[in-house]
Structure 1
């Protein structure tokens, strides 16, 4: 059944049936607005858009995969502020011939990913569109903590990373060359494994700045460097290239370090910590903050790509 055959309200009913309320949901889908508890008194909010052909392909990913990816992209931004996600709002713009089952799978993926952090999809909107587009807004709670901004890094701070990196970019390259293995890389592209708890943990440990690595490690670290008016040096010896990534890189003729330095979509978290600070579990040092500007790799300028830019 297509969504044109189901109709707008039939589609909404099917999608809502796949959703579950979270602990902060006071009123979920079904009214003009949802109501979400905000114990801290402040709401952290972030929005991302996924466009078919630009961010995902239906022949590469199921509806559930895209739902997980769409939720993860937003939930990771909330975690990168040191906050805990509480709710998602979803806008779905779809061609009228889209199968209803795909939209149901999408809803299931969104709901399941949100449930990993105790959040829920609490509402949204639908519209017909020639291009399949999913827009997600995430809300979060700081739990009384100060937000961790991009602008707080200081010379002498330790640069650290939580989560895997380079895997999704490797998976994308594998898929774009017409292959479906190694499975670990392809699945990393389809469904990010985000270290959500690492964000609040970093905030509690005194992180001076933090960011979600969505567009590429070097590109996103550049945002911290500019906002904090510092230089950042990344040390390649800090990264271990997995056997599957190395094998794929050799077969495809790619330097795996490019996936690590410039690949996005893993949604790892990068943060800076004061000198001598004990890093929380799951965080590993990957470089240093210093006086100056810009990003270097092993104290030298990086000559390769640095990440994704939507308009280039």
Structure 2
């Protein structure tokens, strides 16, 4: 039956500066889970080069993490996935533009749990790379789901960040709900912009005509929320003001602990280190032998480096995590 979709709702945050890191916490209450719902946590650069979005879905095939980027507007060169976590599948998409999407059903997510999603961009050999990470806050585990090679240089997160909730199949007779907090953008100057102000919007159209008035959004304790579908009624404040400020939705900067790691082994030929799943993930590494740089590169998944050292050489490993913090360990070759 036409017109049976729940209306899509959006929150537009106040982070209009250029940045290189986006992150946000997402929570879906058990009563807000409905089949064929996209709970989008981060959307950026809509209509621009390097536009994309990521989040979680309640999908017919299971609980899914999704990360997608639209095709470049300035080249016909294809986007490629240069890293995929176990269970992450990538494929081209069409419909509302074309691009590359990744989906992971293997890790899964659960209602009534908070999750953190992080997207980070960096430059590599004349292209822009985009990485996507997720943290299960209850299990205290991080996952690097995918890295995509976008074949255009110097693409950043340019526009205000958006999150949304979407019924993509047409079951507006059921409602869905989502909460967001601890949202941030790191600017190219290195400062953090917390998502403490948001503008709510609802898309009312013919595809949703049976449920166009079934929506809500605003502040829920220390987080932003959106709800849509049958049984939902707008809060009275939405009739006069759709701009919200939630001072408690984020601190001045992320509170995640810096990366934690240990050097497992160091010999005259090689150094190996380990980063636990509970640690904020690795983004880049640097290896220094007797005060001289041996290697320095962005590689979230490398855990060893070839070296040329001698007995009693001092070997130092410096790791940067995905939100820009560094830690180091030093050992001597025995």
Is TM > 0.5 for Structure 1 vs Structure 2? no
TM-score, structure 1 normalization: 0.28
TM-score, structure 2 normalization: 0.27
Choose between structure 1 and 2: higher helix proportion.
Answer: 1
Choose between structure 1 and 2: higher strand proportion.
Answer: 2
